[in-house]
Every structure is written in structure tokens, then in C-alpha cells.
Amino acid sequence: MPPPQWPGHCTTELESTALLCRGIRWPASPGSPRLALDDAEHRGQDVALEPATRLGFTVLPGRWCLGHQLIQDRNHRTLVPCPHEALIAHGTQCAACEAADQSRAMHDFHRSGRAGPGLRDYLGQPHWLYVATFAQGTTKVGTAADPSKWRRLAEQGAISARYVAWCPDGASVRNLEDLVTGQLGFTQQVRANSKVRGLLENHDTTAGLDALNAARAASARSLIAGLGPGILAGSHAVEETWSAPEQGRVLLEGFDAHKLQPYPGFLGEAAHGFEVAAVSGQVLGVRLGGQPEIFVANAALLKGRKLALGDYVTDSPPVQGSLF
């Protein structure tokens, strides 16, 4: 893609109107995701990612810290913008915000026992253990607090997922998560790039991945059901299937038909413009130039970037299937 042209704008004007991107944000229950954007005064200027939404922007050089969270209790948390507006080389936080972030301790609380009062209250509510399978065939085990039960999986872009245990609190669910990883070998993290590659390098179908997920969820459920009361600590096995977002349907149809195309450019720099056709986790399925093909774009690359919205257009490349 050629360098962006900015007719009628200088770099200073672009910077003054640029919006800090926090990635794609999903609602707590099934509904439309939004591209989370903050202006210079930290006011939300989110863009709803409905089908046929036109989205055009240019990406300013650099990546910025996304701030840190303070947790008052299980229902209230405050996002604090980075006080230094720090540029960062990797991740989503500068060192100071990472140290101040009260949510980070939740991942190690079951081992360390260290957490502030607000995080302790958050971890004191019921949690769910799930098993999720992604497009490349990787299965992970993960956890979700009760209010985030659906959203946690929508954020991650799972193809298929099942809840395998209900737990009374955040410590017991993480103990089970570690146990499933140790006994069954399920990972606890799947990188965004591999999710995109999985959609494009299709070696299975959604039906096949669902069958794989059902089998792996059954093995996790069987393991949990056989544990003693002392290990379960009030938890119990459950059998419940997660409902994938309707907004991802077009991507899944393209996946099954082997018709998805790679987005022709790096979304973390330069200018882009397209029509949103589908959303799965932090992945966009987009159309270019009014053509029917669905191109897969990794919107996780936009986190921490500053975007200047505008009437930009990404040219549609030749698609092999359309040449015959």
C-alpha cells in the first residue's frame, strides 16, 4: 500500500483530532461490538461495528500506553489514562501503569494470596471455567467472572466453546484452570496472530472444530467430576455450550467455504478504508471496493495506536478465485 496522502491536513492537525484505540469492545451479553476510541480529553468516541459500517482512518506513528485499572469492588472499576501519555515499544502499558494496575494480581492471586480489597471482592463472586477452540485447532482453558461469562469468549474470537465448571470464586477457578492445563495440556493463551492465520490457513470446518471442542470439554469435565471435595473447594462440573456472536457468522461461512482472503496491508500503520462485514473477537472481516470477497484483518494491531478518521480507501487486490 502506498504511503497515506493527507490532502488539506498537516501532521499537527491529524494529531489534534487523533483518537486512541483500545481495540474491539464487546458487550456483556450478545450484542454489537464497538471499536473503542478515546479523544484527547479521554472521552469515548466509539464506532459501532455494525454490518456495512464504513470505516476509514490513518494510523499515526507510535504506540501509546492504555493506562491502568483501579478496582473498587466486583461491580466498579476505574480506567485511569496514562498520566504520562507514554509511548511504548511492546504490550499495552508502560512500566508505571503496569505496576499501578490493580487487575494484574488476579492472575496470580490463587498462588500468592495478594490482592487489594476491591480485587478481593471481585474475585469473591462466582466464576466459570471454559474450554475454547480456535480456528487453527488450538484448544485453551480459561476463566470468566459471572458477569463476563459470555463476553470473555466473544472478546477472544473462539470458534466453539463450552463451560465445564462453576466455581464459587476466582481462586478456586484458577486452581482448576491450572489443573486442567497440567493434566490435559490445554494452553491458557492463544495469540492474536495465530487466530488470524487459523482463519486463513483453513484445515478444518466449524463443525469439525465444534466436535473437537465437545470432546476436549468432555475430557475436562470428566477430570473435574473425579476430583475430591478438598480440591474442588465448592466447585462442580457443568455442561453448557457458549453461543457464538451472530456478528461473526460471515467469517465462519467464509472459513467453511475456504474463501477468506488476507487483508492487503498491515493494519498498524498507514491509511485504510473498508466496509465491515463481520467481527470475531479482535478480528474484522471486511469488504474492499464493493467486491464480494471477505478479507481478514487483525484489529488487535490497532490497540494503543492513534487513529485519525477520514475518507480513506484500501484498494482491493486481485483475488485468485475471481480470475477464472
Walk along the chain (324 residues) and give the pLDDT tens digit of each residue: 443 444 444 556 777 789 999 999 999 999 999 999 999 999 999 999 999 999 999 999 999 999 999 999 988 899 999 999 999 999 999 999 999 999 987 877 777 777 788 989 999 999 999 999 999 999 999 999 999 999 999 999 999 999 999 999 999 999 999 999 999 999 999 999 999 999 999 889 999 999 999 999 999 999 999 999 999 999 999 999 999 999 999 999 999 999 999 999 999 999 999 999 999 999 999 999 989 999 999 999 999 999 999 999 999 998 765 433
The string of DSSP codes covering 10-67 is -HHHHHHH-EEEEEEE--SSSS--EEEEE-TT--B--EE--TT-EEEEEEPSS-B---
Contacts of residue 95, defined as CB under 8 A and 6 or more positions apart, other chains included, come to none
Residue with cell 480456535: 134
Give pLDDT tens digits for 165-212.
999 999 999 999 999 999 999 999 999 999 999 999 988 999 999 999
- Within a domain: 95: no
For residues 168 and 126, is the Cβ–Cβ distance under 8 A?
yes
Tell whether 74 is covered by a domain.
no
Residue 141 lies inside a defined structural domain of this protein: yes
Q: What is the count of structural domains for the chain?
A: 1
Residues of the domain holding 234: 126-244
**Distance of alpha carbon 248 from the chain centroid:** 13
For residue 160, being part of any structural domain is answered with yes
With respect to residue 181, please indicate whether it lies within any of the assigned structural domains. yes
CB 300 within 8 A of CB 282: yes
Instruction: Yes or no: say if 149 and 161 are a contact pair by the CB < 8 Å rule.
Output: no
Task: Please check whether residue 201 lies inside any domain of the structure.
Answer: yes
Q: Where are the beta strands (DSSP E) in 98-177?
A: 127-133, 139-145, 160-167
Does residue 218 fall inside a structural domain? yes
Asked if residue 71 is part of any domain, the answer here is no
Angle between helices 170-184 and 206-225 (to 10 degrees): 110
- Specify whether the backbone of 258 is left (phi greater than 0), alpha (psi in -120 to 50) or beta: left
